[in-house]
Structure 1
Amino acid sequence: MEKFRKEFPVLKKGIYANTAVYGLLYDSLLDWRQEHDLDFIIYGSDMRDKALKVIADTRSTVGRFFNCKRENVALVSNFSTGLNVLLEGLNSNKKILLVENDYPSLNWCFEKREFDIEYLKMTIDIEDQIHKVLSEKKIDVLALSLVQWLDGFTIDLEFLKGLKKLHPDLIIIADGTQFCGSTTFDFDNSGIDALGASAYKWLLAGYGNGCMLFSDEIKEKFSLHNIGFNAANGELDKRDEIRFAKQFEPGHLSSLIFGSMKFSIEFFEKIGIDKITEQNRKLSEKAMVEFQKLGLLSDVVSGRKQHSTIFNIKANEATYQKLIDNDVFCAQRGDGVRLSFHFYNTEAEIDAIVKILKTGK
């Protein structure tokens, strides 16, 4: 991974443990973006066909990377926008199961509408609790983040896959913003019906781009009202033939912004998503062991077999300031400090953070 670390100038300034806030941009992406805009300056409207191809290729690239049918991929500016469009097409008489303190943009989208909502507390055995609720009550929709934004708590993907087999009529909606790009993921075999993700975090694509992925079955359960000329590919006679995913794209899309997502996914493929997955597994296991030794993790996180690379350590304002003063990029979240690692981080950097926490140096 060392040769790829050279792509990220911010890594020269300190230890970047803040991907959960913003994924790093990098030199080769900047080069592509500059060349893209230079072409527009030189060629003007003659770039239109090339720009449209970038958008089409981005949709195919997203589908390939996450194993989702191309026609079931929607390109959206962010997860929040995509989820709001989706829920406008869901009958308000549905019973929803949410997790307390999940990402606000996820829970708020349901709470703003007239759904009947049931909540679960985040516990070590959250999967068992979900099973229990589904066996006792009629739940139509389960919506949750695959990785929790506050502390990196990770839902067992095999559990979701099995859950769908047990409850085939259950609609499973997932927020993948703190997940997509951190590890391998097979959407079509996940049991998830709709997954949305903003791409500016773990996919390293910058602001303004993201995707929604859909199963074939979900299309019959939502009645969408979003529409626009772009959704019909600019064809006047195609207004009533717009496919489900394209209804999330009513207006023109930026080839610069979505082309950046395409470029980053191809960058990940160049590195090897298996290598990224393995590196992040090592970072997660290393951080878990070291932070547990210091007694800095909650019982809920410490009791899990699998965890992401996001950790919320018990830390006050003084500890946060100590990390900042020692050039550690991190964020205050809840009652602690959130540290988040990606493939461009090293185990040595985790050791350095531990030393700072112990000694302040």
Structure 2
Amino acid sequence: MDEFSRFRTHFPVLDQYTYLNTAAWGLLHDGLMEWRHEHDLDYLIGGSRMKIGALSILEDTRNHLGTFFNCPPERISLVPNFSLGMNLLLEGLAVDSRILTLEGDYPSLTWPFLSRGFAVDEISVGEGLEQRISESLSEAPVTVLAVSLVQWVNGVLITPEFLKKIKQRFPQVLIIADATQYAGAFHLDFEDSGIDVLGASGYKWMLGGNGNGFMLFSETAGPRIRVVSTGFNSVNADLSKKDRISFSRRFEPGHLDTLNFGSLNYALGILEDLGMTAIDEYNCALSEKVRAALGDLGMLPSFVSDRERHSMIFNIPEPGGRYAHLKAHDIICSARGGGIRFGFHCYNTENDLDKLIEVLKTGP
């Protein structure tokens, strides 16, 4: 049994279903379940003594994220989820900023700009996407490029390598990236990415469960954004530091849950045990096999089939009855964007793909 086959045995749901829904929720590792049980049992019998002692989990998580993504811990914020972090961030962005986003990108990335009245231009996701992004940045003044590394509906991948080239060509553009559908599925070196602000929730490909997320900041991001949120947790309960709050800690005004962030910390260890390089290679290979198989059935648009790289998310048409047919055969997926969305991860195998193709061939 290889290491990925062994990894799969830690997720009991895979014995019952063909789980292709990581794009909605990542699975719970049995080791993490045991850790969470022990954490809350300690709380049950220890009360505040346990909680105060467990606060070190938060700094352990911050440091672990720094190692995992290659980002100095002092430039990392722990947030309950990406959506809250994004809204706090934009409270500090100059109101005259001009924003470039992608049409149909994740609402928690795009709506906060719109609700605050920022000038927003959108680019459709399709043929020649990267070239059209570059042209748009050349043709009009843009303050912020805000994109998800993986588009949540169709899985189109915007690589960090591309964003690094954009940063080199347009250094004045602040690049904000949502990595919720990317982090944990592929290797990511933040310091080498060209991204200024990267945020993610930890409950999908990171396998950390709900209630945890993070924001990573480049060295030059802080001076360009004036975040005013503050609170007792921002100063680690030291009242003398009221006027000396760092940029990253302004995203942490209130108490953070050691259960949730400890879960993220544990999940980072799970992924590190497998190795992110190995996970990246496994997922890239599986992604190509899925893309080829669905493409052979004529179920993928050409701009997905023809791109150099794709993510772990795929969306096929729903002619009517197909989603119900998949559910009836114990394939767990999601209805998204008028189609059917699948999300593969490193606990999935070619057998899962074979099952999917077999069921698709026998249904609507």
TM-score, normalised via structure 1 length: 0.98
**Aligned residue in 1 for 2:173:** 170
Asked if residue 149 in structure 1 is aligned to residue 152 in structure 2, the reply is yes
Asked if residue 345 in structure 1 is aligned to residue 353 in structure 2, the reply is no
Q: Secondary structure, in 3 states, of the residue corresponding to 1:92? A: coil
**Aligned residue in 2 for 1:39:** 42
**Aligned residue in 2 for 1:261:** 264
Q: Secondary structure, in 3 states, of the residue corresponding to 2:43? A: helix
Write the deviation string for residues 225-258 of structure 1: whole angstroms up to 9, x where unpaired.
1000110010011011111111000011111010
Size of the alignment, in residue pairs? 361
Whether the 8 Å contact between 1:316 and 1:335 is mirrored in structure 2 is no
The structural deviation recorded for 1:271 is 1.4
* Aligned equivalent of 1:208, options 201, 208, 211: 211
* Aligned equivalent of 2:245, options 238, 242, 250: 242
**Aligned residue in 2 for 1:325:** 328
Write the deviation string for residues 82-121 of structure 1: whole angstroms up to 9, x where unpaired.
0000000011101110111111111101000121111111
The structural deviation recorded for 1:79 is 0.6
What CA distance in whole angstroms lies between the structure 2 residues aligned with 1:293 and 1:251? 51
What CA distance in whole angstroms lies between the structure 2 residues aligned with 1:192 and 1:279? 25
What CA distance in whole angstroms lies between the structure 2 residues aligned with 1:316 and 1:335? 10
Identity fraction in percent: 47
What CA distance in whole angstroms lies between the structure 2 residues aligned with 1:130 and 1:4? 39
Within 5 Å, give how 1:168-317 maps onto structure 2: 168-317=171-320
What CA distance in whole angstroms lies between the structure 1 residues aligned with 2:271 and 2:186? 10
Whether the 8 Å contact between 2:81 and 2:213 is mirrored in structure 1 is yes
Query: Which contiguous aligned blocks of 4+ residues in structure 1 show a shift greater than 3 angstroms?
Result: none
What CA distance in whole angstroms lies between the structure 2 residues aligned with 1:200 and 1:184? 17
Aligned-partner residue type, residue 118 of structure 1: D
Aligned-partner residue type, residue 116 of structure 2: R
Greater Cα shift, 41-50 or 174-183: 41-50
* Aligned equivalent of 2:138, options 135, 140, 146: 135
Give RMSD over aligned pairs.
1.1
**Aligned residue in 2 for 1:56:** 59
TM-score, normalised via structure 2 length: 0.97
Q: Secondary structure, in 3 states, of the residue corresponding to 2:221? A: helix
What CA distance in whole angstroms lies between the structure 2 residues aligned with 1:257 and 1:139? 37
Q: Secondary structure, in 3 states, of the residue corresponding to 2:121? A: strand
The structural deviation recorded for 1:157 is 2.0
**Aligned residue in 1 for 2:15:** 12
Whether the 8 Å contact between 2:106 and 2:152 is mirrored in structure 1 is yes
**Aligned residue in 1 for 2:100:** 97
- Structure 1 gaps of 5+ residues are none
What CA distance in whole angstroms lies between the structure 2 residues aligned with 1:259 and 1:38? 14
- Structure 2 gaps of 5+ residues are none
